[in-house]
Copies of this chain bind each other. A is one copy, B any other.
Amino acid sequence: MRMAELSERSGVPTATIKYYLREGLLRPGRRINATQAAYDEEHLRRLRLVRALIQVGRMPVAMAREVLVAVEDESLDRHSRIGAAVWSLPDDSPPAASGTAATGPAAPVPDAAVEAAEQQATELLVRLGWSFGSEARAESPAYRRLVEAIAALERSGYPCTLEDLLAYGRSAGELGAVDLDMIERYEPGTRQVEAAVAGTVLYEPVLLSLRRLAQAEESNRRFGEGG
């Protein structure tokens, strides 16, 4: 297909497609003459993934490029490919540099709250029976983020108990199984790794919005006028 059709089918404006091509997020099409190129279904699929990473996952272009490199690394076995690609996804913590004037200084450096949080996180994962990657865990962005989140609860005056975290962990465990079921609908290989990356990013807002709706529902049940 020509770029116009690629744009129409993806809903991505041609100017944006050209920008992704220049930035190396999308492979060049097959040249058909001096000014035109042809694109195929793989371009379309990749373009949609790039848009998901950048618009929903709010990734800077350089990070999206790194994720795509991990997606295409065929040297790894299936678990490692999915793991490496999802691992490469940045969390969406606030960028360290921007907005200092408006939001005040960034979070403090590691402190007593972080040390206590490390212990709690380790204990949590043991209790959940999640042993995978326990050696490399300290390097994992998701694990670092968990520790920082537990420390933030402590610093905010709302310390969490191990039981609170276990309740969250059990629900997260169910979601992990649902996510892998969804991934297994796709054939093993790059297609499946793409699905893992897209699902990880695209279901985050689904989950957060459903949690808020569930809170409203539960609050109404417990404290509402009918309750």
Query: A152 contacts which of B52, B125, B200 (Cβ < 8 Å)?
Result: B52
A82-B223, A104-B16, A180-B218 given as contacts; is B172 within 8 A of A213 (CB)? Answer: yes
A97 smallest CB distance to B (angstroms): 13
Are B146's CB and A223's CB within 8 A?
A: no
Contacting residues, chain B, for A52 (C-beta < 8 A)? 152, 156
Are A158's CB and B198's CB within 8 A?
A: yes
A158-B199, A178-B167 given as contacts; is B143 within 8 A of A213 (CB)? Answer: yes
Contacting residues, chain B, for A179 (C-beta < 8 A)? 211, 214-215, 218
Which residues A46-83 have CB closer than 8 A to chain B?
A: 48-49, 51-52, 54-56, 58, 60-61, 77-79, 82-83
Report the copy number of this chain in the oligomer: 2
Are B216's CB and A132's CB within 8 A?
A: yes
Interface flag for A110 (CB, 8 Å)? no
A173 smallest CB distance to B (angstroms): 5
Contacting residues, chain B, for A61 (C-beta < 8 A)? 102-103
Interface flag for A153 (CB, 8 Å)? yes
Are B77's CB and A202's CB within 8 A?
A: no
